[in-house]
Structure 1
Amino acid sequence: MSKQFPQELVDEVIDNLNNPRDLRACSLVSSKWLERSRRKLFANVALNTWNFDKWQRNIPPGSNGVSAYVRSLTLRQAQSIISLEPETLMGIMDHLTSFRRLEVLLLHDVNFDDLFDGPSLIRCFGHFGISAKSLHLHGIRTDISTMLFFVSLFPNLDHLTISSPMLSKLSGVIEVPIGVLPLRGTLRLSRFWATNYTLLQGILLIPLHLEEISVTHSQIADSGILNRLIEACAPTLKKVELAHLTSGTCHTLILYRIGPLMAY
Structure 2
Amino acid sequence: MSCPFLPPELLDLIVDHLHDQPISLKSCCLVSKSWIPRARRNLFARIEFNSYSSSIESWRNAFPDPSLSPTHYTRVLEIIGLPTVGAAGAREFPWIHSFRRIVTLFVGTIGWSDDRLSLVHFRGLSPTLRSLSLYCASAPLPEIFGLICSFPLLEDLALHHEDPKCDLVGWTIPSTSPKLTGSLKLGGQNLSIIRGLLCLPGGLHFSKILVSRPVGDVESIMDLASRCRNTLESLRVKLFLHTVNSKMPSPLDLSRAPKLRDVGFEVGPLDIQWVVVTLKATKPKLLRQITIHSNGVSPEPTPEAVRGWRDLDHLLAGLWTSHSILPKISRRDCLQALAPSLLPELTSKGFKPEFGYEW
Q: TM-score, normalised by structure 1?
A: 0.81
Give identity over the alignment, percent.
Answer: 23
CA separation in 2, counterparts of 1:216 and 1:83? 31
Counterpart in 1 of 2:55? 51
What secondary structure sits across from 1:234 in the alignment? coil
Q: CA RMSD in A?
A: 3.1
Structure 2 regions of 5+ residues with no counterpart? 243-247, 264-359
CA separation in 2, counterparts of 1:214 and 1:2? 55
Counterpart in 2 of 1:204? 198
- C-alpha contact (below 8 Å) 1:2/1:30 kept by paired residues: no
Note if 1:222 corresponds to 2:223: no
CA separation in 1, counterparts of 2:40 and 2:3? 17
- For residue 101 of structure 2, what is the amino acid of its counterpart? R
Counterpart in 1 of 2:158? 161
Structure 1 regions of 5+ residues with no counterpart? none
What secondary structure sits across from 1:138 in the alignment? strand
What secondary structure sits across from 2:163 in the alignment? strand
184, 188, 191: which is aligned to 2:187? Answer: 191
Deviation of the 1:55 alpha carbon: 0.4
1:190-241 deviation digits (Å, cap 9, x = unpaired): 4323xx2331112111132413232244334331211112222234x14232
- More deviation, 203-212/168-177: 168-177
Counterpart in 2 of 1:8? 9
- More deviation, 211-220/41-50: 211-220
- C-alpha contact (below 8 Å) 1:191/1:217 kept by paired residues: yes
- C-alpha contact (below 8 Å) 1:214/1:240 kept by paired residues: yes
Note if 1:242 corresponds to 2:236: yes
Q: Count residues with an aligned counterpart.
A: 252
Radius of gyration: which is bigger?
A: 2
1:1-264 paired onto structure 2 within 5 Å: 4-17=5-18, 18-49=20-51, 50-63=54-67, 65-77=69-81, 83-87=84-88, 90-93=91-94, 95-109=95-109, 115=116, 121-122=119-120, 124-163=121-160, 165-167=161-163, 169-170=165-166, 173=169, 175-193=171-189, 196-207=190-201, 208-235=203-230, 237-247=231-241, 252-264=251-263
Deviation of the 1:242 alpha carbon: 1.2
CA separation in 2, counterparts of 1:251 and 1:42? 49
CA separation in 2, counterparts of 1:145 and 1:87? 20
CA separation in 2, counterparts of 1:250 and 1:61? 58
Counterpart in 1 of 2:285? none
Cα distance change on mapping 1:76 and 1:90 into 2, 3 Å: farther
- For residue 254 of structure 2, what is the amino acid of its counterpart? L
- For residue 26 of structure 2, what is the amino acid of its counterpart? R
1:150-195 deviation digits (Å, cap 9, x = unpaired): 21222221111113x12353467573433242442124224323xx
Higher relative contact order (CA 8 A, sep 6+): 1
